[in-house]
Structure 1
Amino acid sequence: MEEIFMGLFKEFKDDFSQAVNELVPGDVPEKEVEPKAQTADNLVVDTIGENVDVASELSKLDGLLEHVEEQPQETTVPRPTPSENFAEHTINTQKEEQIPQMNDIPQPVNTQPVNNNVLSGDVQDETSVITASTVLTGDLQSSGSFDIQGTINGNVMCNGKIVVTGTVNGNTNSSEFFADVAKVEGEIVSTGTVKIGAGSVIIGNISASSAVIAGAVKGDIDVQGPVVVDTSAVIMGNIKSRSVQINNGAVIEGFCSQTYADIDVQGLFEGK
């Protein structure tokens, strides 16, 4: 009976020692682990003597248990996995980096043409003088008046009066227009009077409320009021006005029509 008990105890000790070695490799002395001898038939051979102190063996087991409990347990730290919020934040950041700033976007350039109508508002009591040695290229606008002694390559528009003693290559629009020994190549529009002095050359149509022509005009004249054609005037174009006065010596190559007259000329001949 004692031999059976010792055999069972030996097998229990060997199995427990092997389990301890697997848990704590290298910490248990090799002499405390009894090797298991195997034969060709895989049979366990009892290598322990008959005289075994059971209390001593149990005390060894208690020491082994205490040794195992004192070993620090390895903790496995889980690797962080990217969350959906982190992935979305990364994608949104990349999209924001691809969006150009508003400052890098080129702004549209205003290419609207200059309005040729008279500027709105009152006439300012100031005159812009373009000296004889000045050549300007571009349109001019003012709420006052212009005194053009030099050369303007562009349209001129103002609320006041335009006085030209130089050259204007462009259209003009003003409340009054006066040319004296000047050259204007463009249309002249005025809400008031247009005066073309002797020695001036105008190539373009003239529209005004009244006109006095003493220079050379190549173009049609459309005036709501009276037109005076002086002795030195040369006109190549039609004259449409309320009334016309042609002084002796003036040259007109065109038709004169009092379209704006108060008299019904056609009615005078009806029923006759």
Structure 2
Amino acid sequence: MFNNKQEKNQMAQDVTSSSNTVGKGTVINGDLETFGNIRIDGKVIGNIKTKSKLVLGATSHIDGNVLAQNAEIEGEVKGVVEITELLVLKPSAVLHGDIITNKLIVESGATFNGACKMGVATKSIKIGEEASNGQATSKLKEAKPV
């Protein structure tokens, strides 16, 4: 009934509209990869990669690198933050590491220690199978947390 291309497009649309949450008090030791939006209020020891929006709540603590399309940070991050579109650092944000982004908003009270590179060319975010076949060459693998 449907051709393969239509099914793939529908599946991709469904996946990117999904939402994920890591609650307060939760600790994840390992890398997170998702096509959809993700909100983290807990602790992640590892890298985070999403093709959509990442929201780090006030109680979040990330010990690893971040790669996302858009992000709002209220918690603490120790690592490189690479955002292809817009990064917003909220007043309670504490970031120890470099920022690579196209656009940056730093609200009064946010703390940032590291280098910042803005207006960089947009790169594609590779997730799952795409990354495993050797196509993805991410700066996140090269960079080390501060």
Partner of 1:220: 80
Are 1:178 and 2:67 an aligned pair? no
Q: 2:63 aligns with which of 189, 203, 206?
A: 203
- How far did 1:256 drift? 1.3
Partner of 1:268: none
Partner of 1:256: 116
The 3-state SS of whatever aligns with 1:217 is: strand
The 3-state SS of whatever aligns with 1:199 is: coil
Are 1:162 and 2:20 an aligned pair? yes
List runs of 5+ in structure 2 lacking aligned partners. 1-8, 123-146
CA contact (8 A) 1:243 1:261 kept: no
- How far did 1:124 drift? 9.6
- The runs of at least 4 aligned residues of structure 1 exceeding 6 Å deviation read none
Which fold has the larger relative contact order, with Cα–Cα distance below 8 Å and residues 6 or more apart in sequence?
2
CA contact (8 A) 1:123 1:160 kept: no
Q: 2:11 aligns with which of 119, 122, 129?
A: 122
Give the CA RMSD over aligned residues.
2.5
The 3-state SS of whatever aligns with 1:242 is: strand
Partner of 1:247: 107
d(CA) in 2 for partners of 1:214, 1:159: 23
Give the TM-score normalised by structure 2: 0.68
d(CA) in 1 for partners of 2:17, 2:53: 13
Q: Which has the higher helix share?
A: 1
Q: 1:159 to 1:230 in 2, by over 3 A?
A: closer
Q: 1:190 aligns with which of 38, 50, 55?
A: 50
The 3-state SS of whatever aligns with 2:91 is: coil
d(CA) in 2 for partners of 1:191, 1:251: 25
- How far did 1:261 drift? 6.5
CA contact (8 A) 1:122 1:159 kept: no
- How far did 1:161 drift? 2.8
String of CA shifts for 1:152-197, please: whole Å, max 9, x gaps.
xxxxxx98332101221111111221112x0111100000011101
1:179 maps to amino acid: I
